Structure 1
């Protein structure tokens, strides 16, 4: 009997030892891969904007938590509201863990909504997590004459945007379609920095799809000197600092509109999401996810973030995946209304005419 118990104990110990050995080997393998290596950290926007600030902040700190402590190199890859970087990460970037990056969560929704050259399935990315849950709004310049969303329901307001697929363009157009607002979107500006400069020059009267975290980090004087007025919050719930400004979800007339808004605005739960390409070895994905999350609690990282005035409210990779799975259950009829609201039906017709 004792021999049996002893044998069972030895077997258990042997299995445990093998488990520890396998874990050590995996850690060693990941460390050997990353040691002395440069890892590219792609951001789908121009320098100077909010996405760029978050990416470079992460790049200054996350390397300490990756086995082998590689050197992280931030690289800008702007184009089509970050669609270019998303397609690159999914289809072209090496699938060995040496490249990861961030693009707008709304671009992930384009793969569901359609009408864009989204050559990827966002559910197949190896998401690491998000540095924050975003909270966005429409802002009016103080001399524009717009002081509330009711004003935009009555008269035309010029808002600047980058590309047609960016939140700065897609969101005001969605509000026009579903709520009857009168935003006139002027595209072609170079990143959020280009739009904010146009606002200051009064080329346009405001900006939509501009995150509160971005305005606090890039344009703090706007808030301090009351240069801008928040008209409406593009979020599910009111931000605690703006309890008297309504959200788009509050103005939704029915459940279908709220479902549509979940596709257009709801992805902000993804905030500033970072991902590895699909096909990266599982041990490297696990190591990078752990490194990302450990960085989110790092004191030096948090102090650096506070210094540059960015909000850190991290979300796990599981939360990102959960939102995507929920979005993909949206009825096709609702997805079609969003497609039309964003003007993609008209864009497709124009493309067909050009081909003829």
Structure 2
């Protein structure tokens, strides 16, 4: 009798599991996932998002179409607010954002989202951001930036290309003059090459090192990395935290550097049902093992280093939980100049 009950229990669980898999395949079959990209075209965030869009269909049960669309603005805040407040939590709208959206909420409590409440699906790669300068300009090192006014470009007031130079001005005495209003990274590169600005307060290291003309001809100097430690991709460039002269400033700069660990991610609005989150997270990790995806990403200097949705959720929650005195100083040193 006990054996019969055990067999019946196993069969029931098997049927339930098969029904769950079938229901998920039925849900996505014949449907489309809208992938909102919180940045402009052609940069590392856009290129990485479009790789994910091409491969995700291969791994999500039911093979839904994945349709990318750019929604740039305020360093991904526009896209984050849209997905958080407007998109239905049905697993059919996903999002890629610049990792600064987590930091931005600490800087701007009025932002209409809570980072830890998003449905974090997984990380494709850490994103190393760097401050750079054009070597034909007088700006070649952080010491040069302390000695004279140096003009650098930025997008909006909430992005690292603006807030990092402002923070360095106030914390270590640099004299960066930030010119805002560039819609994306590509126009900032062009402005630097034309001599309109001397450098960029924050750029993707991947985009820098894939520009062979720059690297082969020593056209760009890396002033610092926006990270908590040096990167093996540019071992001679100081991590920003190295500039700190006291523990409080080190914590402030470390908070700015946390964007690197969060990196390039896939997420959705709050409230996606647990069953669909499980499917999306599992599909994401399987996709990250695809050798064709890894090779395609490597060609554009995206080095796949995945993090599970559960671990990413914990990382974001920790990054959002910072002592109030550190947050207050961060807000003070990153306000517009």
Query: C-alpha offsets along residues 35-59 of structure 1, whole Å, 9 cap, x if unaligned?
Result: 1111111111111111111111111
8 A Cα contact 1:128 1:273, kept in partner: yes
TM-score (ref. length: structure 1): 0.90
The aligned counterpart of 2:206 is 213
The aligned counterpart of 1:195 is 188
State the Cα distance separating 1:79 from its structure 2 match: 1.2
CA distance change for structure 1 residues 256 and 98 in 2, over 3 Å: closer, same or farther? same
Aligned 1:178-193 pairs, distance under 5 A: 178-193=171-186
State the Cα distance separating 1:137 from its structure 2 match: 1.1
Secondary structure (helix, strand or coil) at the match of 2:125 reads coil
Instruction: Tell me, in whole angstroms, the C-alpha distance in 1 between the residues paired with 2:237 and 2:243.
Output: 12
Aligned 1:115-264 pairs, distance under 5 A: 117-217=110-210, 219-264=211-256
State the Cα distance separating 1:215 from its structure 2 match: 2.0
- What do you get for the CA RMSD once the two structures are aligned? 1.6
- Please state if 1:102 is matched with 2:61: no
Secondary structure (helix, strand or coil) at the match of 1:259 reads helix
The aligned counterpart of 2:262 is 270
Instruction: Tell me, in whole angstroms, the C-alpha distance in 2 between the residues paired with 1:339 and 1:258.
Output: 15
The aligned counterpart of 1:88 is 82
CA distance change for structure 1 residues 209 and 11 in 2, over 3 Å: closer, same or farther? farther
TM-score (ref. length: structure 2): 0.95
Query: C-alpha offsets along residues 224-248 of structure 1, whole Å, 9 cap, x if unaligned?
Result: 2211011112111111232222111
Secondary structure (helix, strand or coil) at the match of 1:261 reads helix
8 A Cα contact 1:59 1:73, kept in partner: yes
State the Cα distance separating 1:168 from its structure 2 match: 1.1
Instruction: Tell me, in whole angstroms, the C-alpha distance in 2 between the residues paired with 1:225 and 1:317.
Output: 40
Query: C-alpha offsets along residues 272-300 of structure 1, whole Å, 9 cap, x if unaligned?
Result: 11101111111111111111111111011
Secondary structure (helix, strand or coil) at the match of 1:318 reads helix
8 A Cα contact 2:226 2:256, kept in partner: no
Query: C-alpha offsets along residues 297-319 of structure 1, whole Å, 9 cap, x if unaligned?
Result: 10111121123332222222233
For the pair shown, the structure with the greater C-alpha radius of gyration is 1
State the Cα distance separating 1:337 from its structure 2 match: 0.6
1:297 paired residue among 289, 297, 321: 289
- Please state if 1:56 is matched with 2:50: yes
- Please state if 1:70 is matched with 2:64: yes
8 A Cα contact 1:130 1:317, kept in partner: yes
Instruction: Tell me, in whole angstroms, the C-alpha distance in 2 between the residues paired with 1:322 and 1:177.
Output: 31
Secondary structure (helix, strand or coil) at the match of 1:131 reads strand
Instruction: Tell me, in whole angstroms, the C-alpha distance in 1 between the residues paired with 2:194 and 2:41.
Output: 20
Secondary structure (helix, strand or coil) at the match of 2:76 reads helix
1:321 paired residue among 303, 313, 317: 313
